[in-house]
Structure 1
Amino acid sequence: MDDVSTSGENASTPRRRRGRRPAGEVRAEVLAAAADLLFDDGMAAVTFERVSTTSGASKTTLYKWWPSPGALAAEAYFDRVEEALEFPDTGDVEADLRSQLMAFTHLMTDDRAGQVVRELIGAAQSDPVLRAAFATSYGRPRRDEAVRVLARARERGQLREDAPLDVLVDQLWGACYHRLLVLDEALDADLVDRLISNALHGAAPAR
């Protein structure tokens, strides 16, 4: 099996190579293989046996790097969607929020990623290892990135000095997840605009 410390290669195994490969290369191939299985066939397809066969990494390596197949699936999901969810920072906080939220809603509604994230979040409710992995690999990094962008906007004077940035992030993306997972209602451009307007300008009457 192709691995970070391969020995005893069998020429009948196409993916098997001689010698040691960089751990980063092996990990990237494992995450790509796990993401393919996850997006093509769902959570049940992400087993260490199938990922090992597909990626060429040994099951020993998978057990060393991930506590469970669910934890691997969570990291593979984030690895697959990370580029699509990059947060712009153009200097216009309202435009940047809209751009990122539109990318997010597009991913959730027009792509297989929406169904996959439903499966991951659903499975995480009865799997504490997956729940922790999803928060570590996906939830908190996404939130932290948004807070960093908003912090720079606050430094530019576009947000109040006392604005609670983590709460603002929860308001915006939490509302989207609520629609997606609880209400099964539309995520669209109109919703994005209304969420941003309410978050930045508030619901109180103007004085």
Structure 2
Amino acid sequence: MDQAAADEPAAVPARRRGRRPAAQVRGEVLTAAAELLLEHGMAAFTFERVAARSGASRTTLHKWWPSRGALALEAYFDTVRDTLAFPDSGDIGADLTEQLRAFVRLMTGGPAGRVLVEIIGAMQSDPDLATAYRERYSGPRRALAVEALERARGRGRLRADVDAEAVVDQLWGACYHRLLIPDRPVDEEFATTLVAQLMTGLRPGPGDHGPRWDGAGGPVAG
């Protein structure tokens, strides 16, 4: 991002003002916030700029979001939610591969990866953003992955002793590591290799007669 972008207001006409339903205003604010965030990053992201672009007042923005970081996070997640939908084909290896490759494409194919790194950096000094990140982004994303792994375990597709939370950390943690510390590239080949190697240890073997698990993570009797 150049310094001019940080110093000058975004050259986008404000959306038409007037009395609008709250849901419409909120949607327009999130759209404007996402546009600003992806175009210029966190350094140029302010309530003033979002208000100017969306046509909403700063008072409205402060009422709905406790900090610029919280607004940025919600706008970001609103933009990427559909891209990161978790599939359920019945083949957990294929589903993990598809989801992780989609995540990598999003992180490397445009500004979303840079923005996520900036949001993670801003979290270190913004408690409201850190809370919003856990509640609205990382928490729900983790829950989807854990649920998928537990469904597969209940179907007998994974070993009965698999720790779903640890698997999520092993897969996505490796991608975040390369995203934040770019010693090595994070790409779709890397994502595919991660899942393939991990699945070798997760699948039940011929002699695995341990208990089966239901979708809620509990053992099935009998």
Using the TM superposition, give the Cα deviation of residue 198 of structure 1 relative to its aligned residue in structure 2, in angstroms. 2.9
Alpha carbons of structure 1 residues 110 and 184: separation in structure 2 relative to 1, 3 Å: farther
Residue 200 of structure 1: how far off its partner (Å): 2.0
Taking CA–CA contacts closer than 8 Å with sequence separation of 6 or more, which of the two structures ends up with the larger relative contact order?
Answer: 2
Give RMSD over aligned pairs: 2.0
Unaligned stretches of 5+ residues in structure 2? 1-13, 208-222
Aligned to 2:82: 83
Matches within 5 A, 1:68-147: 68-147=67-146
1:173 and 2:193 equivalent?
Answer: no
Shift of 1:141: 1.1
| 2:22 corresponds to 1:26 | no
What is the CA–CA distance in structure 1 between the aligned matches of 2:31 and 2:101, rounded to whole Å?
A: 25
Question: For residue 50 of structure 1, what is the amino acid of its counterpart?
Answer: R
Preserved CA contact (<8 Å) 2:101 2:192: no
Deviation at 1:178, TM superposition (A): 0.4
Is 1:15 paired with 2:16?
Answer: yes
**What is the Cα deviation at residue 148 of structure 1?**
1.5
Higher helix share: 1
Amino acid at match of 1:127: D
In structure 2, distance between residues paired with 1:195 and 1:85? 18
1:146 and 1:163 map into 2 onto residues whose CA distance is 13
Moved more, 159-168 or 139-148: 159-168
Once residues 182 and 49 of structure 2 are traced to their aligned partners in structure 1, the CA distance between those partners, rounded to angstroms, is 34
The one-letter amino acid of 2:61's match is L
Indicate the percent of aligned positions where both proteins have the same amino acid. Answer: 56
Aligned mates of 2:63, 2:84 — CA distance in 1: 29
Which residue identity is paired with 2:48? E
Alignment check: 8 A CA contact 2:153 2:159 kept: yes
- 1:163-183 residue CA offsets vs partner (Å, 9 max, x unmatched): 211111111001000011024
Alpha-carbon shift at residue 34 of structure 1 (Å)? 0.5
TM-score if structure 2 supplies the norm length? 0.80
SS at match of 2:153: helix
Runs of 4+ in 1 over 3 A off after TM superposition: none
Which whole-Å deviations, capped at 9, do the CAs of 1:20-64 have from their partners, x for residues lacking one? 51x322211111111100000111222111111111222222111
- Contact 2:15 / 2:54 at 8 angstroms: preserved in 1? no
User: How far apart are residue 113 of structure 1 and its match?
Assistant: 0.5
User: Once the two structures are superposed, what CA deviation does each residue of 1:124-170 show, in whole Å capped at 9, x if it has no partner?
Assistant: 12222222222222111111111122222122111123321111111
Q: Secondary structure at the match of 2:83?
A: helix
**Separation in 2, partners of 1:153, 1:28:** 36
Q: Distance in 2 between matches of 1:160 and 1:114?
A: 33
**TM-score of the pair, normalised by structure 1:** 0.85
Give distance in 2, aligned partners of 1:183 and 1:69: 27
Note closer, same or farther for the CA distance 1:14–1:28 as it changes in structure 2 (3 Å cut): closer
2:58 corresponds to 1:52: no
Structure 1: distance between partners of 2:130 and 2:40: 20
Q: Which amino acid aligns with 2:172?
A: W
Partner in structure 2 of residue 192 of structure 1: 191
Letter in 2 for 1:164: D
Instruction: Give the distance between the partners of 1:28 and 1:185, measured in 2 at CA.
Output: 38
Equivalent pairs, count: 191
**CA gap 1:14/1:149 in 2 versus in 1, 3 angstroms:** closer
Q: CA deviation at 1:14?
A: 6.0
